[in-house]
Homo-oligomer: A and B are copies of this chain.
């Protein structure tokens, strides 16, 4: 409702503009179907739109007429002109009509509809286009299955939830642009036909007819180009831009997606965080009328892992992870004695869980998606007594001490997992989210933004016995860790933090970025640490390395996943409704039936032969 309100406001501004110049809105209508109110009673109006429904009642015909802006009730009196009555009777669902009539006050008002105080008593009715009966109902809750609605996306898009989603998307994009423009950013379009790169995820490629045998690639992000723009002196760049990744699609991933992509020069980390914290604050305020914390909290990656078991903590609720390794070791419980780490969370008020519920929860954590070997619980009963699945190894006092450490009170349930440190924390993190859901802590209209900072720069891989860049090889180490970065000791290098940051909202990573390396020596050291020879580095990144030799300024930036920003602002978990024409999990657009086979002549022109077996 909030959003619609905002959209309507700008639309009203427009209407006012039209009135001033004496124009009516459109040739086909004087008003929209969301506009008329009790104050308009007596006016002669023309509306146009789709027939939502039509019914006869005591000789009257009632028609709900729908357009982008709302629904208005039209009435045709039984004693009206015969042709009019006949036309009104002939209307089917989704017919496109134009209706002229007088605004009258309704006898039985509908307070749920903005136009519910009035109806239009028709004097004429014009069918602009007939419609086949749609294969599913055009209602907030449609009766159509997902596949069917995808096939007729243009009909599904008539439904309110999708309309609101796309209006929200427009509004957010517009606010982003206004904010960044006001901050001196230039939106600069970078090319879509670029070059395939040997690193990273798979590129989509585009055969070039004019350059036989050669291919363009579609960008996975404008990373190279935005860094070149910094070299070129465009110190505040942004772009709302499509990106492409030919990955096997996980649920809720799209082969093409939209990014708010930004880069700044002559900045340090806090400049970047300030600007984009301001952007997020403005979006929440202007789009949702929500105030977010000022400043947005910051958490190191290490704390996020230790206390939330996730690099994207949902901080709408506490239920922090506590390490209790020292408290539980050496009591003869071999499971705990044999592991590095024991950690626990406290689910408030769930001591009432029955044996059956606890067994079910144990099975839940043992599923491969979580991967725990088992679950230990400690119930703090309402009467202060403590009951645990490991009673025989721990005294009441032992358990009480744990409960105290966990700040568990009467009625709370402590859940304990163990194993290797990070892996167990991650499992606890997943369990925490599950318990948060069960306890109703995760209201999608609550918003808890967070910056996660101080990521490790490097990840050691035992198998290949080398370091990998946790982000990408241009991410700068934190300035205060430069000494460690030049150390030869693995332990030192593992401690080096990246000058990187993620924007997290409600447990979802919405964006991330880093200060980039602009200094040739630091870059060289980075390649050395990653075990790249100079030839490797030149082959993989030569173009950008060479560009940097002509005067690269200090710079950094970030990118937000725009589809996901929209979904979260709309209080939804999946992005599909926030994209007008999305693809399914096989990367297909089932509406237009794409991808598809192309003519042999087209293949020949591109100097291509297919080695695939035709189905």
Which listed residue, B68, B188, B210, B549, touches A233 by the CB 8 Å rule?
A: B68
Q: Which residues of B contact A28 (CB under 8 A)?
A: 266-268, 554
A251 at the interface (CB under 8 A from B): no
User: Once the chains are docked, how many angstroms separate the CA of A181 from the CA of B599?
Assistant: 41
In the complex, per-residue mask of A229-266: 1 if CB is within 8 Å of any chain B CB, else 0 = 10111111000001010101100000110100000101
Tell me the A39-56 residues at the B interface (CB within 8 Å). 48-50
Known: A232-B157, A270-B27, A607-B612. A215 touches B550 (CB 8 A): no
Q: Which of A80-107 contact B (CB under 8 A)?
A: 94-96, 98
Interface 1/0s, chain A 184-213, versus B by CB < 8 A? 101111111111101000111111111111
Q: Is the CB of A595 within 8 A of B216?
A: yes
Contact B68 A234 (CB under 8 A): yes
Bound form: Cα–Cα A67–B266 in Å: 11
Q: Mark A165-194, 1 if CB is under 8 A from B, else 0.
A: 011011001100110011110111111111
A615 (CB) vs chain B CBs: closest residue: B213
Inter-subunit contact B129/A195 (CB<8 Å) = no
> Which residues on the B side are within 8 Å of A384 (C-beta)?
none
Partner of A232 from B155, B186, B210, B611 at Cβ < 8 Å: B155
Measured in the bound complex, the distance between the Cα atoms of B463 and A277 in whole Å is 65
Question: Closest Cβ of chain B: how far from A604's Cβ, in Å?
Answer: 8
Is the C-beta of A383 less than 8 angstroms from some C-beta in chain B?
no
Given the contacts A551-B50, A609-B609, A580 and B192 also touching, CB distance less than 8 Å: no
A214 within 8 A of B: yes
Q: How distant is A275 from chain B, measured CB to nearest CB, in Å? A: 10
A205 neighbours in B (Cβ, 8 Å): 206-207, 598, 602, 606
This protein's copies in its complex: 2
In the complex, A478 has a CB within 8 A of chain B: no
Identify which of A48, A519, A551 gathers the most chain B CB atoms within 10 Å of its CB.
Answer: A551
Is A364 in contact with chain B by the CB < 8 A criterion?
A: no
Chain B contacts of A607 at CB under 8 A?
610-612
Cβ–Cβ contact A210 & B587, under 8 A: yes
- Is A423 part of the contact surface with B, judged by Cβ < 8 Å? no
Do A242 and B551 have beta carbons less than 8 Å apart? no
Could you say which residues of chain B place their CB within 8 Å of the CB of A66?
A: 233
> In the complex the two chains form, what is the Cα distance from A554 to B49 in whole Å?
10
**Chain B residue with Cβ nearest A27:** B268
Q: Do A597 and B215 touch across chains, with their CB atoms under 8 A apart?
A: yes
Q: How far is the CA of A204 from the CA of B190 in the complex (A)?
A: 18
Cβ-defined contact, A609 with B611, below 8 A = yes
Nearest to A50 among chain B residues (CB) is B551
A183 to B10, CA, bound (A): 8
Complex CA gap A271/B235 in Å reads: 41
Interface residues of A in 570-606 (CB under 8 A from B): 579-581, 583, 586-589, 592-599, 602, 604-606
Asked if B128 and A586 sit within 8 Å, CB to CB, the answer is no
**A595-B208 in contact (CB<8A):** yes
Question: A541 at interface (Cβ–Cβ under 8 A)?
Answer: no
Residues from 533 to 572 in A contacting B, C-beta threshold 8 Å: 543, 547-554
Contact partners of A131 in chain B: CB under 8 A: 549-551
Cα–Cα, bound, A95→B198 (Å): 31
Whether A13 sits at the interface, judged by CB under 8 Å, is: yes
Q: Sort A-B residue pairs by CB-CB distance and give the 4 closest, nearest first.
A: A213-B612, A131-B551, A212-B612, A607-B612
The 11 sampled A-B contact pairs (Cβ below 8 Å) are A14-B182, A14-B183, A166-B188, A192-B218, A192-B244, A194-B589, A210-B587, A212-B610, A213-B610, A216-B594, A228-B581
